[in-house]
Structures are given as structure tokens and as C-alpha cells.
Amino acid sequence: MGEKTELEKMLAGDLYDASDKQLMDMRVKARGWMQRYNQTGYDKQAREKLLQEIFGKLGKNPDIQTPFFCDYGCHIEVGDNFYANFNCVFLDCSYIKMGNNVFLGPNVQLYGAYHPVIASERIKGPEYASPIIIGNNAWIGGSSIIMHGVTIGENTTIGAGSVVTKDIPANVLAVGNPCRVIRKLE
């Protein structure tokens, strides 16, 4: 078997070169798609058709308010009754998977991409990516940031403005920076 492509490295969580032609072409395609999507009026059928063009998986009854931004789009999977309020950003350099009945407040940001922390490595350009998984019935409050590699359990609520850097279990309310569980939900 030959050497991995940069896309394969990216999806495997290996260090990869985001300036690779294939990845650049994919991002250019996504930017054209975003321009069309973000200029579409509130026509649910037209928006759903556009979402089907780019998302890796799209459940029934999606509702994503504009503006909406993503890196690739094809690594995003959402279940039924997904809702994202205004100005959400998905850096889907790895898979972003969300279950059924997931609601995102305005300005929610999902960061699948990240960079080396050592400056001499970071300035060389390559980066990493890790998946983000959000379980069924989760609610992510406005202006929250979900970092790479995080899993949020089903039925969990993340309070507005939280920065989620570690996994959050199912059936809890979690808030803060860094986000932490403050109580269980029945």
C-alpha cells in the first residue's frame, strides 16, 4: 500500500498539510457552496437541497440559519431535527457527527482542526484534526466552542459561552471555561 494522501492523514488524525491541492480544491468548493447557501432566502426546501449537496449525512428536517460556515462540509453528519442558529462555524477537518434533535445556539463553533503548540513546529504549516461527536438531544448554548476530539453525551446541555475541551457525559448540565459538569439531569 502506498503512502497516505493528505486527506487520508487528515481524517486519520495524523499531521497533514492543509495546503495540499486536493484539500484546497475541496475547501474552494465548500466556499462556493457557502456563498450560495448564505445567499438563499428562508426557503426551507432550497436550503435542504443545498445541504444535501455538501453534508456527508443529513437527517430529516434540518434547519441551519445563515450565515453558516464550514471547511469542507462533506465531513459533517447530522441526524433528524437538527437546528443551528445564526453564525455557526464547523471546522470539519475531521468528522463532526451529531445525533437526532441536536440544537445549537447562535455563534456555536466546532473546531475539529488544531495546530502543534510548539512554535517551531506550528510555523512549518502542518496541522492535525480530530472528530467531534454530539449525542442525541443535546443542546449547545450560544457562543460555545467545542474543541477537537470532544464527545458530548446524549441529553446533555452545554451552557452558553462554554469552552468544551474534554468529553462531557450524557444527561448532564455543563458550563464554563473550561466547561465542567455542574449537575445531572433527570
Are 176 and 165 in contact by the 8 Å Cβ rule? The answer is no
Mean pLDDT to the nearest integer, 173-185: 98
Please say if the pLDDT value at position 1 is more than 80. Answer: no
Fold exhibited by the domain 6-184? UDP N-Acetylglucosamine Acyltransferase; domain 1 (2.160.10)
Catalytic one among 29, 57, 115, 180?
115
Mean pLDDT of the chain: 97
Residue with cell 486527506: 7
- Please state the φ and ψ torsions of residue 103, each to the nearest 5 degrees: -120, 135
CA distance 182 to 185: 10
Q: Shortest CA distance to 111 belongs to which of 91, 140, 83, 88?
A: 91
Q: Are 82 and 62 in contact (CB under 8 A)?
A: yes
Mean pLDDT of 92-106: 98
* CA separation for the pair 69, 177 (Å, rounded): 23
Summarize the confidence of residues 119-146 as an average pLDDT: 96
Strand extents, DSSP E, 22-167: 57-58, 63-64, 68-70, 76-78, 83-84, 88-91, 96-98, 103-104, 109-111, 113-114, 128-129, 132-134, 139-140, 145-146, 151-152, 157-158, 163-164
pLDDT in tens, 31-51: 999 999 999 988 999 999 999
148 annotated active-site: no
Quickly tell me which residue has 446541555 as its cell. 157
| pLDDT on residue 186 | 84
